Structure 1
Amino acid sequence: HSGDSACVIPPVSIPQKHIETICEYTRKIAIELNVIGLMNMQYAIANGTVYVLEANPRASRTVPLVSKVCGISMARLATQLMLGKKIADLGLEHKKIPHFGVKEAVFPFNMFHTVDPLLGPEMRSTGEVLGLADSYGLAFFKAQDATQQPLPSEGTVLITVADTDKKSVVDVAREFNNLGFKILATEGTHRLLANNGIETEHILKMHEGRPNIVDAIKNGEIQLVINTPAGKLSKYDDSYIRKAAINYKVPYITTTAAATAAANGIAARRDGEAAVRSLQSYQGRIL
């Protein structure tokens, strides 16, 4: 569900040509549907093509966060439009955002230790937080901190991923290795990383014997879990890894994209203090 997603403004991974396409599609759809006020669009990009998923003539709960990052009171402007003003009357113009804002969803899984925290089409988040910083990595780090899932600055990271994520996890593991983290990996991931010159220590899955992943989590030997789900067709259920992480308050990550962002965040946090600044000081630099 899109409400469970994390996002960043300005975008860091969308090519300019796709941003231009998104702007063009949004403008055309808003005009054709005669939308007056706010409109919530959802897009997907696959194989170099931009697809429209939804066009909703309403606000979303992310609007207040976008307003804070961009320094624009979107709800106020939308109200003025609905009361008869024209967009041309509002004096809006494109501006460069010199900072980054990361929105992260907040989940209630810490209160439901037996529930697998995998996401799907039903929204599970119960709130949102915002991290602001001069770099994307530090903004991501601050957002995770706000969700009460703070990223560790050192220690041991467990990496165990599904076969479909094996290719992308190599760069993730290399980043954590460069940051000085000790890496524990299950057999398939351990073999893959060793073949790519990344030093890891093999750890057993629960059905393979002891001491295993759950033992290590329980004993405080793991500070971060990176586990992409094997899926329902897998011979063995791997939800016990994510449940153990929740039960023992170890931050966990279930996608390689988030793992990459986490590595960037930890690196950025090491480079500088996550200083507290007023929202107005960020907005005052938007030109």
Structure 2
Amino acid sequence: ELFIDRPGSPVLVSRYLKNATEIDVDFISSSKKSVIAGISVHIEEAGTHSGDATMVLGPGRIDKETLNRIQDIVEKMRVNFNLSGLSNLQIAIKDNEIYVIELNARSSRSIPFVAKATGINWVDYGIKAMLGIDPDIKYSEAKAFFIKVPVFPFKRFRDMDVILGPEMKSTGEAMCCGETFQESMSKVIRIMKRDFKLKSVIITVNDMDKDEAIKIGRKLDKKGVKIYATPGTYSALKGAGIGATVVYRVKDLRSPGISEIIRNEDISMIINTPSESYGSIRDGFSIRNLGIKKDIPLITNIRFASELVDSILSGKGTQIRELGDYQ
């Protein structure tokens, strides 16, 4: 259609980078040097808007070699674009290759998060750099684990689909802290639902995510969590020897239907990753909409689901401390 509507016009065809890890790098530039303020690693794969992504800042999230390569890229950006003050670099890593997504020659929304996590006033350093004062500070990893958790307005805008992508949908964010990644991650569910208790889970995922869904299902089944699954996911779980109850799609007349289960059962969490088939798109939207109405934590990314379930099942108690104790 494009060739018909615009004959002779160039058409850009790009390939999406699948299953890559996205990273936000906040840094300061002066006329003489650059200093990284923080490196935040997305839990979701590259492709989710950074404002909607769940990001982790903490020790050991990237190796020394990758850090050196990132510092080299940052310095080249400073020199080639004559940067001054705060900047944000978004990169993706796949198969040990680093891809630059974009450079924002300005302060990013992640700067307040990085400042709180490190206990350093990076805005002050950024302003001084713009005034010609070189930052007398070096990059250092955070001592604990800090997770930026997006907050969404889906309860107010119920006709909006909750699937995350390149368009930002979140309207706020929270920060979870912990001495370990699992401790920090275990607090994330409390942002989603304060009185959360894991009793039963609905799993309905696309074909690409079924292998990971089996791993999640096996862990839940071992802990005695009741699992409901739509036919395709149920078959995958059953084939792996995982106990589950089949629930049928929204338009399917057989019982139990997934709408019935969401309305009438005490569902703790819904793991639903989108599929591109028409029926799955229709059902997926209905499932997610029902979950929001019932205030059920809804996970639409399998990588995030895996990390969240692991932290919940770890059984480690949540410790509440002052922010300064983690810095």
Could you tell me whether the CA contact under 8 Å between 1:159 and 1:186 is conserved in 2? yes
What CA distance in whole angstroms lies between the structure 1 residues aligned with 2:123 and 2:259?
47
What CA distance in whole angstroms lies between the structure 2 residues aligned with 1:189 and 1:152?
24
Q: 3-state DSSP class of the match of 1:3?
A: coil
Name structure 1 gaps, 5 residues minimum.
none
Structure 1 residues 37 and 19: alpha-carbon distance in aligned structure 2, compared to 1, 3 A threshold: same
What CA distance in whole angstroms lies between the structure 2 residues aligned with 1:43 and 1:83?
28
The farther-off stretch of 59-68 and 19-28 is: 19-28
Q: Structure 1 vs Structure 2: percent identity of aligned residues?
A: 32
The alignment's TM-score, normalised by the length of structure 2, stands at 0.79
Could you tell me whether the CA contact under 8 Å between 2:155 and 2:292 is conserved in 1? yes
What CA distance in whole angstroms lies between the structure 1 residues aligned with 2:195 and 2:89?
31
CA displacement at 1:61 relative to structure 2: 1.1
CA displacement at 1:154 relative to structure 2: 2.3
Could you tell me whether the CA contact under 8 Å between 2:201 and 2:271 is conserved in 1? yes
What CA distance in whole angstroms lies between the structure 2 residues aligned with 1:207 and 1:179?
32
Counterpart among 256, 263, 270 of residue 302 in structure 2: 256
1:149-191 CA-to-partner distances (Å, cap 9, x unmatched) read 3584420011110112112222122222233311111111111
What CA distance in whole angstroms lies between the structure 1 residues aligned with 2:131 and 2:113?
24
Q: Which residue of 2 aligns with 1:35?
A: 83
What CA distance in whole angstroms lies between the structure 2 residues aligned with 1:127 and 1:267?
27
Could you tell me whether the CA contact under 8 Å between 2:291 and 2:297 is conserved in 1? yes
Question: What does 1:39-118 correspond to in 2, within 5 Å?
Answer: 39-87=87-135, 90=136, 92-118=137-163
Counterpart among 221, 236, 242 of residue 288 in structure 2: 242
CA displacement at 1:206 relative to structure 2: 1.4
What CA distance in whole angstroms lies between the structure 2 residues aligned with 1:134 and 1:30?
33
Name structure 2 gaps, 5 residues minimum.
1-48
Q: 3-state DSSP class of the match of 2:186?
A: helix
Question: What does 1:116-155 correspond to in 2, within 5 Å?
Answer: 116-146=161-191, 148-150=192-194, 152-155=196-199
CA displacement at 1:74 relative to structure 2: 0.8
What CA distance in whole angstroms lies between the structure 2 residues aligned with 1:153 and 1:23?
42
Structure 1 residues 254 and 152: alpha-carbon distance in aligned structure 2, compared to 1, 3 A threshold: same
Matched, 1:198 2:242: yes
Could you tell me whether the CA contact under 8 Å between 2:59 and 2:141 is conserved in 1? no
Question: Which structure shows the higher helix fraction?
Answer: 1
CA displacement at 1:11 relative to structure 2: 6.6
Q: Which amino acid aligns with 2:251?
A: H
What CA distance in whole angstroms lies between the structure 2 residues aligned with 1:105 and 1:174?
28
Q: Which residue of 1 aligns with 2:36?
A: none
Q: Which residue of 1 aligns with 2:324?
A: 280
Structure 1 residues 135 and 242: alpha-carbon distance in aligned structure 2, compared to 1, 3 A threshold: same
Q: Which amino acid aligns with 1:120?
A: G
The alignment's TM-score, normalised by the length of structure 1, stands at 0.89
The farther-off stretch of 69-78 and 27-36 is: 27-36
Q: Higher relative contact order at CA 8 Å, sep ≥6: structure 1 or structure 2?
A: 1
Q: Which residue of 2 aligns with 1:208?
A: 252
Q: 3-state DSSP class of the match of 2:198?
A: coil
Matched, 1:24 2:69: no
Could you tell me whether the CA contact under 8 Å between 1:144 and 1:151 is conserved in 2? no
Could you tell me whether the CA contact under 8 Å between 2:59 and 2:143 is conserved in 1? no
Question: Which structure shows the higher strand fraction?
Answer: 2
Q: Which residue of 1 aligns with 2:312?
A: 266
Could you tell me whether the CA contact under 8 Å between 1:10 and 1:100 is conserved in 2? yes
What CA distance in whole angstroms lies between the structure 2 residues aligned with 1:17 and 1:234?
44
Aligned residues: 276
